[in-house]
Amino acid sequence: MREQVIRVDEDDRAIGPAGKIDVHRSGELHRAFSVFLFDHSGRLLLQKRARGKYHSGGLWANSCCGHPRPGEAARAAAERRLREELGVDVSVRPAFFARYRAALGNGLIENEFVHMMFGHCAGTPRPNPDEASAVQWIELETLETQIANRPQDFSEWLRHYLRAHRGEIASQARRLCSGTCQPRATVGTGSGR
């Protein structure tokens, strides 16, 4: 069965399900989530997407991104995908919404109403090799320098979020590091796959 996503209007009201590849070919607006996990010192967890992904393979991206299934809440989808992709059991909190649209090549277009999620990860992720080939913890300033020097190594959406929402992302990192937020993480004992 093909994977389904939720088509939405400009206010994130569900219109109905559609095939994931279909909406990426047509450029229809659909619901997505994007997760930024930080450690105790404020470093962001990046994942390098597996080369076999249907787009942006081999590029560095933020901690986790994806699409809720029809009938699934964005937060539940984000926490599910963190277990599946990175082997971590993390409680995330929604912080704000973002819009993101970009042509990705190979006839694919991202057009997303994105639920931006944040959490704290105290353990060591164990990436599923079908999803991510590597992970790294990085300070936001270092990441920005690397993106400026080699933008082709990073996903379009990560570059977009840092351009358009850098202040909000940094604010969430500070809140998580100062202990004013509740989300905490543990590394799961299973593979989560």
Catalytic residues: 65, 112
Phi, psi values for residue 95, rounded to 5°: -120, -45
Residue keyed to tokens 């009938």:
71
Strand partners, 37: 119
Phi, psi values for residue 144, rounded to 5°: -60, -40
